[in-house]
Structure formats: structure tokens, C-alpha cells
Amino acid sequence: MRKNLVRTAGMISAMSMLAGCTLNPADFVNNNPITQITETVQNPDNNSPVGLSNETVSITKGVKGAEVEDIQYSDISNEQRYALTDASFKLLNRMSSDKPNDNILISPFSISMALGMTENGADGETLAQMEETVNGGISSDELDTIMYFLSGNMESSEDVDWNVANSIWFKDDGKWVMKDKFVKDVVTYYYPDMYKAPFNEQTVTDINAWVNNETNGMIPEILDAIPDDAVMYLVNAIAFEGEWATPYEDAQIYEDCTFTNCDGTTSQVTMLHSKENRYFTLGNGQGFIKPYKGRKYSFVAILPDEGVSTEEYLNDISAYSGDFAKDVREAGVEDVIVEMPEFTLDYDIELSDVYKSMGMDIPFDGQRADFTKMLSTASGEPYECWIGRILHKTHIEVDRKGTKAAAATVVEMEAKCTAEEVFTEPRHIILDRPFVYAIVDNETGMPIFLGCQNSFE
């Protein structure tokens, strides 16, 4: 399956569904009994690839998606790339506005994978709000195609290491049905492993074991408990580790350098000195592009003008932040002297209030949300659900060797029953004060990780 790419740092997205009542027993996937469409595979003696318990049963075999024609880069329009990039920056901007002095790191790709799977079960105004806020205005069908393409791009990378993995976990209580089209679409574009489990403390252990395995230990735990009403989790994991295309020599590593934090205090950091040759400007900031091995992916940093905070910068470019993807792809060839700090960051946030403040409120409203394309009762009646929480965790390490990054997202659902060369003198970009950064897909210019570094301890 496409999930088995490489295990390094990781990013995980999970969707849980909560049920608040008792329904007539059923044990169905694709509107057929599980035992009729798949071979159940238990995991005795923890012999599964992720060491699952005997209580968790794999039902992956036999669950089939549709054929997908080969998708090329040219099949993804500029408007689609810019829309998703704009949505990514608007999310970071909203978070930065709420806490302007925080170091922040999100994974737009991870969030889009988790909520993209969720969108396949949404309908009406619920879907419309998700498409506008999460997707930047493109449709759920378009997002599925783009996620499929980006995953394939990652899988084909030979010089950096990726792991992309998806799984669906559902409560083995026979109370509800996953609708046929929902299953088919998710399996077609996201290739999930599928498990049924009792949703007890052992299931928490098993989901965390799967996550730990898919992220090479970078995220050993994503769930601390499963609510009594939980009925399903959709989990995405993505892992990245890349070495720089041009290694640093010892003479390029400067110890005990000064970084001026956003509050005016200073911290001592290790700076990495190099000369890069891709330079661009975006709003009142200047940026550089530093490639990883193979040059399919790059680290990008933007230093706002002196006196402009990262929060002010992100707010200023919010009207045209989609241009980031264009600027990365079309950056001019121009020498730029770069100094950037080694840094490690762990970050976590609950995103439901952020999305509500951005106009996506219906998916969180139990009276108005429409996810009826996702689940039904065994008799075909609507099984109504809505998003309760969206938890997001991230980790990144940037050093003289390269970059590792990890993230985790949990979408919790509650339910009820019914360019040309330019030769100039080298520019200098010294990241010795707050800056914005990303890990990008060079072909599309879209950010996979996106953050701002405002201070060091």
C-alpha cells in the first residue's frame, strides 16, 4: 500500500466519531457485513507490523476503491494550488493573531488529509463551509485529487525520506453503517488500513502503537483516552526527513550567536551560514529557498522587514498569501548570503475555535451539521454527527544535517441517533530575529509544514 514509504519524523491526523445513543445492532462496511467483504486478520502475539493487540482486527483485505487515472502536475491548476496555499496562510495568520508572541508550527498537508477524508462524509452547507475554509474554495473532489497527487509525489522521492499512511478505526459494536460511497471515495484516494476494535484502553494503546510506528517514534502518543461515545477514528500519518542538498562545513557553523526575541530579549543560538541562489520577496519580507537532497523539496524562510512582527507580516499578506506558492516556484536566481539558527520546536493547539472564528461554524453545530454522507443506521436512517474538537500537535528539528518534522491532528466527531537569471551583489538574510518558514513541495510551491519562530529560550 502507498502508506509504506519511509519512517522518520511524522505527522498524524486522526478523526474520531462519537455516538450518544443505542441503535439496532449491525456490523457493516460498504453496506455489507464485514465478514462478507474482507478477511479479518487478528494480531496474535503482537505479530502485526505495528504490534497491535489481539483485540484489534484488521479488515483491510477486500475493501476496494475505484481506479484512478495517473495524475500529472499539469492536472493541478494554479488556482487550486494558490487556493490551498492561501487557506494554509490564513489559518497560520489567525493563530498568530490570537497569540502573536508564540512559536507556531502547523502542517497544512496533515490537516487537509484529515479534514479531506471528513469532507467525503459531509454535505450541504457543512461541506460548503469546509470547502471554503479548509480548501480555500476548491471542492472536496478537487482536494481528494490533489492529496492523491501530493502523496504520489512524496512516494516517488528518492533523495529524501517520506512516510504517508492512513487508517480507519471503528468501534466493534454493530450500531451503525459506513455508507458505500464514503468508503469507496476514502479508499480510492487515501488508501487506509482498516481496523475494528472495542474502543477501550487497549484500543488507545493500539492506535498509539500504530502512530508511533508510522512516525518512527517521533509521536509516541496521540490519544490519552477514548470517550465512551466514540465510534470511529480516521488517522493520517506523514513523516519527513531530509538532508540538505549542500552539506554544511564546520567553518559554516557559528556557535553562540545572538537571536533577538519578539519581546526584545536575546538568546544564544547556533547559526548556519551558507550562500543560496534562490531569492524572492513577498509583501514586506524577503525570503530564500534552501533545497534538500534531490531538490524536490526545500526549506523556505521569510524575514519580515525590520520593525515588522511575524503577526503583522502574516496579517499584511493575508489578502494575497496564495502568491507564496507562485513566488516559490518562480523565485529568481540570485545569490543570497544566509544565516539561520538551528532550532527544535514542539507545538500543540485545539483548532475548533480558530476555524469557527474563520467562518466555519456549521460543522461544529450539532443542530446544523450535515455529515449524513458518512454514516447511517443499519436500516438506512440518518446517523447524525458533527465535529467536536480538532487537536493539532507538531514537532520540528532543523540543524546542520537537515530537517525532521512531525505533527498530529485529531478531529473528534460527536454523533446522535436520528524565472530569468539576475547577477547582482549577494543579498544577506540573517534570521537573527523572528521569521516565517515552511517546508515546501518545489513542483507546486505548496507548504507541507508552515510556521513562525518568534523566540528561543
Distance CA 278, CA 285 (A): 15
- State which amino acid sits at residue 262: C
Would you give the DSSP letter of residue 44?
G
Q: pLDDT value at position 46? A: 40
Burial of 59 (0-12, 13-18, 19+ CB in 10 A): buried
Domain ranges of the chain: 11-83+106-242+345-415, 245-343+420-453
Mean pLDDT, each 10-residue run in order, the chain (457 residues): 40 55 35 33 44 83 75 85 94 94 94 92 96 97 94 89 87 79 91 86 88 84 81 83 96 97 96 95 94 96 96 90 87 93 91 95 92 83 81 89 86 60 70 95 92 93
Cell output for 65? 476503491
Distance CA 63, CA 234 (A): 15
Q: What is the pTM of this model?
A: 0.87
- Any idea which architecture 245-343+420-453 has in CATH? Roll (2.30)
- State which amino acid sits at residue 452: C
Q: pLDDT value at position 15? A: 59
Distance CA 214, CA 152 (A): 17
Q: pLDDT value at position 263? A: 94
Pair type for strands 175-178 and 26-29: parallel
Q: pLDDT value at position 340? A: 97
- Any idea which architecture 11-83+106-242+345-415 has in CATH? 2-Layer Sandwich (3.30)
Distance CA 245, CA 240 (A): 15
C-beta neighbour count of 213 within 10 angstroms: 20
Decide: helix, strand or coil at residue 395: strand
Q: pLDDT value at position 43? A: 42
